[in-house]
Structure 1
Amino acid sequence: MADLSTSYLGLKLKNPLIAGSSPLTSSLDNLKRCEDAGLSAVVLKSIFEEQIDVDSESAVDESNAYLTHADAYGFMKQASMEQSIDAYLTLLVDAKQALDIPVIASINCRQNGSWIEYAKRFISCGADAIELNRYVVAADVEVEGPAIEKEYLSLVKSARKQLKLPISLKMGPAFSSLANMLRRLDELSIDGVVLFNRFYSPDIDINKLALVPAQMISSKDEYALSLRWTALMSEEVRYDICAATGIHSGSTVVKQLLAGAKAVQLCSVLLKQGLSSVAKMEKELSDWMDLHDYSSIPDFNGKLAQEKMPDPAKWERVQYMKSILEAQKG
């Protein structure tokens, strides 16, 4: 029987399958189900700093008739914010008491917000690690690329300076030089990076002529981007890479591990196929390892990373004609 244990963010995991932030990780009952299903760690549903601010402003607006004093306004706003934070802290504390697997707190943060104070409170409540979520839609034509990069780097630098717990950054791929960005994160001594986040996107309802949310569930074919960048960077950086998006089968888990990922985050597959998919993926991974005579994940982890390939340029090729011709032959 193959040993599926691995290490991510300095945490010992019984297998590389982590429950990513989603509705499935927003309640204690679901967190228990995740552990029972065989997942090795859970990332709590992200707390959105921006949403907390919006909700607190709404609470103030609803009580506006009673807020004739500036101190009253500040009190109401702070009380509303504390209510949201307290609910998250309660979930974190309950999860740590009920689960035997690592619990990772997740914060969707803004550059100059209160997220650092939230993170400190999560740490005091027993979080095993902190996952920072950051995404910027670079839609302002006056803002140049380096300014966006500076925001990310400043956020991680601040987190590393003030937080002593393992820190990871869940990020998107939209950088002019992603490789350079990932290397610079390494220079800041971050513990891990999750490649990549799947963010909200708008769509258009052509009948109602209105904006609607686009499909948020990934498909089984969407792992290619994270696979490529995991393979390109896993031997170039010291931190752990966790692959995400489009991971719907054990074979895709194998691919990500071969590329150099230390773990993978599952989300859409759990929402789409249910938690029973975890045991299936775990078995597929174990069977593949037995078939290839690998007794543990370190035996093959990163075996096909770019730095270990006889033809490393293969991971960088973007020409598609050969692929089209091969597909036509098939």
Structure 2
Amino acid sequence: MVDLSTKYLGLTLKNPIIAGSSPLTTSLDSLKKCEDAGIGAVVLKSIFEEQIENDSDLKVTENEAYLTHSDAYEFVKNASMDREIDAYLTLLEDAKKSLDIPVIASINCRKNGAWIEYANRFVTCGADAIELNHYIVAADREVDGTAIEKEYLSLVKAARKQTKAPLSLKMGSSFSSLSNLLWKLDELSIDGVVLFNRFFSPDINIETMKMAPAAMLSSEEEYAQSLRWTALMSAELHYDICASRGIHDGKTVIKQLLAGAKSVQVCSVLLKEGLASVSKMTSELEAWMDRHEYAHIVDFNGKLAQERIADPSSWERSQYIKSILGAQKS
């Protein structure tokens, strides 16, 4: 009998498959269903700084006629924000009481500020770890890449100072030197990174000629980028890598583990195919391990990381023409 357990952020997971932040992790009932389906850990639906601020501003606008006192504005705004936070804390507390798997709280931060202070409140309410989400659309031509990277580092540094709980950063890949940024994060004693986040993308409805959201669910082909960077960096960093995006089956889970990921986050496949997809992935992983005579994930985890293969440069090649010709032949 193979053992699928793994360590991620210092936490013991019964298997490496984590339910990422999504509509499936926004209520206690759905969280229980995730656990029953065999998920190794859950990330609660992200609490969004921007959304809560917008909601609180709307509440102020609705009560504007009554805000004649200067303190009333702050009272109504803060009360609205506190209700949102309290609802999240209640979900977190209930999840920890009801689930036997690790529960990770997620904070989507716009900037380094008051939201970092909530990390300890989440830990006090039982969060096993904190996952930070941060994304900057670098549209200001006056701001260079170094400034963008410094903002990420400043955010993690502030969060690390605020809490000793396991801390991870879910991030994108749009950096001029991703390896350098990942190395600098290592110096801040972060516990893990999630590669890569799938951010909101705008689209255009050509009939109404208005902005519309692009498709938010990943396709099976999207795992290649996280696979490459996991393999490039996993053996160089002290913290854990959790691979994300485009992971739809057990084969891709195996690939990410071979590249050095300690765990994977899934979302789109759960929304597309349902929670039954979890058992399909774990069964495929078990069968592969049994076939290759691996008793534990640690026996092969990172086996194909860049530093551990005969031709390390193969993970860095970008042979576009060769890939196209190979695809045509197959």
Fold in common (TM above 0.5): yes
The aligned residue for residue 300 of structure 1 is 300
The aligned residue for residue 309 of structure 1 is 309
The aligned residue for residue 217 of structure 2 is 217
Q: Secondary structure at the match of 1:4?
A: coil
| 1:81 equivalent in alignment to 2:81 | yes
In structure 2, what residue type is equivalent to 1:231? A
Query: Deviations for 1:64-95, whole angstroms, at most 9, x for unmatched residues?
Result: 00001111111101100000000000000000
Contact 2:5-2:12 within 8 A present in 1 as well: yes
The aligned residue for residue 165 of structure 2 is 165
The aligned residue for residue 328 of structure 1 is 328
The aligned residue for residue 39 of structure 1 is 39
The aligned residue for residue 183 of structure 1 is 183
Structure 2, unpaired ranges of 5+: none
Q: Structure 1 residue 110: deviation in Å?
A: 2.3
The aligned residue for residue 138 of structure 2 is 138
RMSD: 0.7
Separation in 2, partners of 1:123, 1:141: 38
Q: Structure 1 residue 118: deviation in Å?
A: 1.5
Contact 2:112-2:158 within 8 A present in 1 as well: no
Q: TM-score, normalised by structure 2?
A: 0.99
Q: Secondary structure at the match of 1:223?
A: helix
Report sequence identity in percent: 72
**How many residues were matched structurally?**
330
The aligned residue for residue 268 of structure 1 is 268
Q: Secondary structure at the match of 2:217?
A: coil
Q: Secondary structure at the match of 1:237?
A: coil
Contact 1:52-1:81 within 8 A present in 2 as well: yes
Separation in 1, partners of 2:112, 2:170: 18
In structure 1, what residue type is equivalent to 2:177? S
Separation in 2, partners of 1:214, 1:131: 25
Contact 1:49-1:114 within 8 A present in 2 as well: no
Q: TM-score, normalised by structure 1?
A: 0.99
Separation in 1, partners of 2:142, 2:210: 28
| 1:61 equivalent in alignment to 2:53 | no
Separation in 2, partners of 1:263, 1:74: 42
The aligned residue for residue 253 of structure 1 is 253
Separation in 1, partners of 2:87, 2:111: 23
Query: Deviations for 1:150-192, whole angstroms, at most 9, x for unmatched residues?
Result: 0000001111111110000000001000000000000111000
Contact 1:49-1:113 within 8 A present in 2 as well: no
Separation in 2, partners of 1:215, 1:241: 26
Q: Structure 1 residue 248: deviation in Å?
A: 0.2
Contact 2:117-2:162 within 8 A present in 1 as well: no
Q: Structure 1 residue 112: deviation in Å?
A: 3.0
The aligned residue for residue 283 of structure 1 is 283
The aligned residue for residue 97 of structure 2 is 97
Separation in 2, partners of 1:55, 1:326: 52
In structure 1, what residue type is equivalent to 2:59? A
Q: Secondary structure at the match of 2:222?
A: coil
Separation in 1, partners of 2:25, 2:314: 38
Separation in 1, partners of 2:279, 2:107: 29
Separation in 2, partners of 1:210, 1:50: 22
Query: Deviations for 1:104-163, whole angstroms, at most 9, x for unmatched residues?
Result: 000001223321222121011010000000000000011111000000000011111111
User: Which structure 1 residue ranges, 4+ long, deviate > 3 Å from structure 2?
Assistant: none
Structure 1, unpaired ranges of 5+: none
Contact 2:119-2:162 within 8 A present in 1 as well: no
Further displaced range: 141-150 or 315-324: 315-324
In structure 1, what residue type is equivalent to 2:130? I
